[in-house]
Amino acid sequence: MTKKLELTLACGDYEIIRPLKEGVVRPDGIELNILTGADSATRHWRFLRNGEYDVAECSASSYIAARDRDMPFRALPVFPHRRFRHGFIFTNTSKGITKPTDLIGKKVGVKFYLVTATLWLRGILEHEYGVPHQSIEWFAELDEDISFTPPPGVKLTRLPDDKSVEAMLAEGELDAVLHPDIIDPIVQRDPRVGRLFPDYKAEEQVYFERTGIFPIMHVLGLKQELVEKYPWVVPNLYQAFDEAKNIAMKRMRNPRLVPLAWYQEAWDEQERLLGPDPWEYGLSDANRHNFETLVGYSYEQGLIGRRIPLDELFLPVSQGRKRGKFRT
């Protein structure tokens, strides 16, 4: 029996990954050891700083910056995580911040500066609402996934270990926070903290109607040495991830699986507003526009030295036209 190539994959514990995790889908010639225990920030650090995994779900913004610095990582156009971001701008309710331009000149906390959610939000605030990213004083809680020097004109302070942007926001030390997660004061219904956009869903729908963008957060990263030694891994992994997602999407159409009273209505609404597969992989026109926008934000904000073409960021996964199916 031919021995399969053993690879370690670190990723989130998503439904669209479940068929891979449970062995329903197996990439041809590959045995995956799938690790889902690490949170996103830890996983990205361990992959990009330490190279601990062969394959890993990875911050899109950090990956773009890593490629700009010729770090030894590549990526597949597999996007395990997307999220609209308008609902992740949190404000101290005593500061009188009621519209985006009120953020100009304010002290704003972030988990860390390169995090993809924050890059999207800085770009959206600048392009959609007229809030220049350099008009804000930034405070970062964590260090970055890769070595990073703030660009000229960016006011960025790294907070000490005993400081949390969430606590500082509630206490009024910060005026606002852009965060990848729902922060504790919101979960705990702390009246000192609110959202910039109370009806963020409506704001996000308008944004999608105008731009066609359902923001990509993460890509599937690979060590460059793996790609160089085993180039066949690239299409085989891509096909497996795509098959797993398709199986999961069919499974999730069953409203019995989820303990939500109006789950079917939510599914139908997503399909009506975002189309039949808003989680699609590959470099379709929509995904190109999506990711090129993110690359553009990285360049405009001084995080990379040039607008990197997508063909340099993503490995080719095509097997040729009308190929990939066996005849019976």
User: What CATH number corresponds to the domain at position 137?
Assistant: 3.40.190.10
User: What values do phi and psi take at 119, rounded to 5?
Assistant: -60, -45
50-68: average pLDDT: 98
CB 186 within 8 A of CB 44: no
- Is the domain of 72 the same as that of 94? no
Question: Of 211, 240, 272, which residue constitutes the final position of a domain?
Answer: 211
- Is the domain of 226 the same as that of 78? yes
**CB-CB neighbours of 4 under 10 Å:** 13
- Give how many domains the chain has, as a whole number: 2
pLDDT at 145 over 60: yes
Q: Please state, rounded to an integer, the average pLDDT across all residues of the chain.
A: 96
Instruction: Give domain status of residue 322, yes or no.
Output: no
- Is the domain of 297 the same as that of 222? yes
DSSP class of residue 130?
-
pTM beyond 0.85, yes or no: yes
- Is the domain of 62 the same as that of 175? no
211-220: average pLDDT: 98
User: What values do phi and psi take at 79, rounded to 5?
Assistant: -120, 85
- Is the domain of 74 the same as that of 110? no
Instruction: Give domain status of residue 185, yes or no.
Output: yes
Q: How confident is the model at residue 327 (pLDDT cuts 50, 70, 90)?
A: very low
- Is the domain of 14 the same as that of 161? no
